[in-house]
């Protein structure tokens, strides 16, 4: 059989990876602070005897689009949007330090401050726990202040400071859980100059029209490879028929 089928098979696998990234982006168009994923393809030449007339294709998710999303005012005390490239520090499901742009915070029944995914939000000294309060406020520098139940509104108390980190100068990668981590381990240092916009939320930076166009393009690329496989099969059948001709 013509080796073209193997080349097309590698391209089909690349199209599947591209479609998976696009599907994930479209599914998270309305996710707070979501950063779209993008993939890239590269040619893999097989060296050996003869001319390298064909090359396999390798396509995979290579990173995240770090452009800012649209910021919308909500007026909610526990909502926040991060300025610049700052990241909010959370504790992942595995217990390690991770980072996100998702700023829809909540206070769990245990008093633990969590984000919209239910992950503990970390401060300078670990997870932030909020005692019962009458009101709560998150300031632009990340300080979390509350007025305790029955307390004096003129004398709010500080319960912690959000750990705001900057990825500048560090190799940060996005995991399958949507969280950012330092590649090969490690943590980002707190950025004392990082600021937030209280009472606001940053939306996803995925552009719906662009994501749909990417999906259509990937579908067409898939169809092209299917046609190439069909052509290879026809060439193989034609060669077999020629060998059957009487001598």
- pLDDT tens track for 49-98: 655 555 555 444 456 888 889 999 999 999 999 998 899 999 999 999 99
Q: Are 123 and 161 in contact (CB under 8 A)?
A: yes
Give the predicted TM-score (pTM) of the model: 0.75
Can you give the pLDDT at residue 59?
46
Q: Which residues of the chain have pLDDT under 50?
A: 1, 43, 45, 58-61
In DSSP terms, 173 is beta-bridged to 181
Q: Please give the pLDDT value at position 23.
A: 84
| Per-residue pLDDT, 104 | 95
Q: Tell me, what's the pLDDT at 60?
A: 47
Sign (positive or negative) of CA dihedral 87, 93, 97, 98: negative
In a 10 Å sphere around its CB, with 0-12 CB exposed, 13-18 middle and 19+ buried, how is residue 114 labelled?
buried
Phi and psi at residue 69, in whole multiples of 5°? -90, 180
**Reduced DSSP (H G I as helix, E B as strand, rest coil) percent helix, strand, coil of the chain, to 5:** 25, 35, 45
Does residue 95 sit in helix, strand or coil? coil
Tracing tokens 């009487």 back to the chain, one arrives at: 246
Convert 202-228 to b/e letters by CB count within 10 Å (16 or more is b).
Answer: bbbbbeeeebeebbeebeebbeebeeb
Q: Which helix (H) or strand (E) holds 26?
A: helix 4-27
Length in residues, the chain? 247
CA dist., res. 86 & res. 80, Å (int): 12
Sign of CA dihedral 37, 97, 87, 184: negative
Kind and range of the H or E run holding 158: strand 157-161
d(CA 140, CA 117): 22
């Amino acid at each position: 059989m013509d080796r073209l089928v193997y080349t097309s098979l590698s391209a089909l696998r690349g199209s599947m990876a591209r479609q998976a990234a696009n599907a994930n982006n479209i599914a998270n168009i309305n996710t707070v602070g979501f950063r779209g994923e993008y993939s890239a393809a590269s040619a893999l030449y097989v060296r050996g005897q003869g001319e390298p007339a064909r090359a396999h294709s390798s396509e995979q998710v290579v990173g995240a689009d770090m452009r800012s999303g649209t910021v919308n005012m909500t007026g909610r005390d526990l909502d926040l949007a991060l300025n610049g490239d700052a990241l909010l520090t959370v504790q992942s499901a595995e217990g390690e330090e991770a980072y996100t742009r998702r700023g829809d915070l909540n206070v769990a029944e245990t008093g633990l401050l969590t984000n919209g995914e239910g992950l503990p939000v970390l401060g300078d000294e670990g997870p932030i726990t909020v005692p019962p309060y009458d009101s709560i406020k998150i300031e632009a520098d990340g300080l979390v202040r509350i007025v305790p139940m029955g307390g004096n509104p003129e004398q709010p108390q500080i319960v912690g400071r959000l750990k705001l980190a900057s990825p500048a100068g560090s190799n940060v990668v996005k995991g399958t859980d949507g969280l950012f981590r330092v590649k090969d381990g490690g943590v980002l240092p707190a950025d004392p100059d990082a600021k937030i916009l209280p009472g606001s939320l940053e939306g996803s930076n995925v552009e719906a029209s662009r994501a749909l166009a990417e999906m259509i393009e990937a579908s067409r690329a898939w169809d092209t490879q299917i046609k190439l496989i069909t052509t290879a099969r026809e060439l193989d059948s034609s060669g077999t028929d020629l060998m059957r001709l009487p001598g």
